[in-house]
Amino acid sequence: MSDPLHSALAVLPDYLSQHVLLSAAALALGIALSVPLLIAARHSARLRWPVLAAASLIQTVPSIALLALFYPLLLGLSRLTDRLFGVRFQALGFLPSLLALTLYSILPILRNGVTAVLNLDPAILQAAHGVGMTSRQRLLRVELPLAAPMLMAGVRTSAVWVIGTATLATPVGQTSLGNYIFTGLQLANWVWVLFGCAAAVVLALVTDQLLALIEFGLARRRPRLAWLGLCLLVAGVAAAAAVPLTASRRAGFVVGAKNFTEQYILAALIASRLRATGHPVTERTGLGSTLAFQALAANELSVYVDYTGTLWHDDLHHGSDPPRAKMLSALRTQLRRRYGIVLLGPLGYENAYVLAMRRRQAAALGIRTIGDLARFAPQFALGGDLEFFARPVWHDLKRRYGLHFRALRQYEPAFMYHALMSGAVNVIAAFSSDGRIAEDHLVVLKDPLHVIPPYDAVILLSPRAAHDPALRRALEPLIDHIPIGLMRHANFMADRRHDKRTPRQAERWLAHAAHLR
């Protein structure tokens, strides 16, 4: 990557503005929910206990799981409203992230607010009634003003949590500062990872200080300071809101990518071809595998690249594997019939799972096939990506070859190769089109029983995008035009440690080498 800092700065307005909008919306919604809850629960122990318990319980759910769970929930809801009222909404991206972060933001505000209200001097509360306040006047003139400083402290905690957790919105398709972290992790681009962290930290600190200014103004009865803090916050959010408007990112095509290098490169390739048609294009990268498929079926993505074996087993839930050509034609008809998804065609190379070892160890032990590996497996640790051990292909490999490993370890794909080279694992479930196989001089074990299904890369179009002739015209030249050697080299360019290129640079090289421009 020639200048990672420069490339990071180039996308900062987009990432930062989306992060700010998401966090601000979640915090505002969190305050709007927790303050009425606080008001309702403050004098009722019967209500207070379950409300606080529920808020605490939500806090204990791992944030990434909470974000992920909202996607199927919203998707189901969207299908229901579509059937009932003909209204669909986006189940991917902003909405699930907003809802999950809102739930997260509630607890600190609510807990601080309840503590503040419960600790109010009873003499003051009685005096409020004694001087002739109605319950409403007592709330607005006495309870809330006195609880305000502590309530604001809760809002500050909440804001810092929300801004930090919003980086996890990337895997559910919401652009955030987390895109730096997830993409950087994927491409071993540590400058991006650090940049993402630093940006999130700075944003959290600035927000915290502005909220502290409001808190100070409230506590010391200096309303001008409180207003200043509020105005600066609102100005920041307004500035963030202005960025997407000027970029006019509405409508157009949405290109998806899963969370590994090849997908980033292919998404960049597809996006640049679609942009050439004059349509606005959004990229949603770093998606979970089946999430991408579901998002495509729901028209939330227009196009992305998937693999036949993955579609056959994980998305259509078939058991046994037909031969390559038969699988492709069966997928074509079944995807169309069941989901309205159009399989435009194969790109011309395969990215199958392969079991790979360090060349020296394989040679020393005389391991050439997965069958040979079975004897040594009990002393070996196997590394896989985050999805491998849940896939049918792993169960089939285990059963057919009788594989029993000493340990199974899951890694982000980028780390998996490091784990193999450092000896943390002896075998990895690598990807056949991966550039790192060549870079690290790995040996790929043969599969004599043909257990591993074909994983031909195919372009999938969403039901809506399938009817767009411009899109089809732009992408049809890719069909059968990307040989495995070129794809592997493009991957290698983006993955290698020296002279590393961005996915966009690798895409340009690939397009040129494959005579696509």
In the complex, which residues of this chain contact another protein (CB under 8 A)?
Answer: 121-124, 126-134, 137, 141-142, 145-146, 221
Residue with Cβ nearer another protein (44 or 126)? 126
Place of tokens 């930062």: 16
Residue with Cβ nearer another protein (130 or 366)? 130
Q: How far is the CB of 274 from another protein (least distance, A)?
A: 59
Angle between the 144-165 and 4-41 helix axes, to the nearest 10 degrees? 150
Those residues with Cβ within 8 angstroms of residue 498's Cβ, 6 or more apart along the chain or in another chain: none
Query: Torsion-angle region of residue 340: left (phi > 0), alpha (psi -120 to 50) or beta?
Result: left
Residue with Cβ nearer another protein (142 or 257)? 142
Residue with Cβ nearer another protein (147 or 393)? 147
Q: How far is the CB of 114 from another protein (least distance, A)?
A: 19
Residue with Cβ nearer another protein (54 or 225)? 225
Q: How far is the CB of 124 from another protein (least distance, A)?
A: 5
Using CA atoms in the order 377, 383, 388, 389, what is the torsion angle rounded to 10 degrees? Answer: 50
Which candidate, 163, 468, 424, 457, places its Cα nearest to that of 324?
Answer: 457
d(CA 426, CA 422) in angstroms, rounded, equals 9
Strand partners, 109: none
Residue with Cβ nearer another protein (218 or 461)? 218
Q: How far is the CB of 302 from another protein (least distance, A)?
A: 56
Q: How far is the CB of 45 from another protein (least distance, A)?
A: 17
When computed from its CA atoms, the radius of gyration of the chain, rounded to whole angstroms, is: 27
d(CA 143, CA 139) in angstroms, rounded, equals 5
Q: How far is the CB of 217 from another protein (least distance, A)?
A: 13
Place of tokens 């031969």: 323
Q: Which residues of 64-78 are buried (b: 16+ CB within 10 A; e: fewer)?
A: eebbbebbeebbeeb
d(CA 393, CA 455) in angstroms, rounded, equals 11
d(CA 456, CA 79) in angstroms, rounded, equals 31
Residue 259 has, within 13 A of its CA and on its CB side, a CA count of 27
Among positive and negative, which fits the CA dihedral 372, 378, 384, 390?
Answer: positive
Residue with Cβ nearer another protein (218 or 416)? 218
Per residue, the 3-state secondary structure of 65-92, as one string, reads HHHHHHHHHHHHHHHHHHHHHCCCCCCC
Q: How far is the CB of 119 from another protein (least distance, A)?
A: 13
Q: How far is the CB of 226 from another protein (least distance, A)?
A: 13
Residue with Cβ nearer another protein (120 or 484)? 120
- Token pair for 65: 């799981």
Residue with Cβ nearer another protein (123 or 364)? 123
Q: Please check whether residue 424 is in contact with residue 478, taking contact to mean a CB–CB distance below 8 angstroms.
A: no
Q: How far is the CB of 233 from another protein (least distance, A)?
A: 23
Q: How far is the CB of 212 from another protein (least distance, A)?
A: 19
Residue with Cβ nearer another protein (222 or 404)? 222
Query: What distance, in Å, lies between the first and last C-alpha atoms of the chain?
Result: 23
Per residue, the 3-state secondary structure of 318-363, as one string, reads CCCCCCHHHHHHHHHHHHHHHHCCEEEEEEEEECCEEEEEEHHHHH
Place of tokens 């949603």: 284
Residue with Cβ nearer another protein (226 or 510)? 226
- The SS3 call for residue 196 is helix
Residue with Cβ nearer another protein (128 or 442)? 128
d(CA 100, CA 116) in angstroms, rounded, equals 26
Amino acid (1-letter code) at residue 460: L
Q: How far is the CB of 220 from another protein (least distance, A)?
A: 10
- For residue 498, count other CB atoms closer than 10 A to its CB: 5
Say how far residue 257 (Cα) sits from the centre of its chain.
10
Q: How far is the CB of 148 from another protein (least distance, A)?
A: 9
Q: How far is the CB of 153 from another protein (least distance, A)?
A: 16
Residue with Cβ nearer another protein (119 or 379)? 119
Interior CA angle at 22 toward 16 and 28, to 5°?
Answer: 130
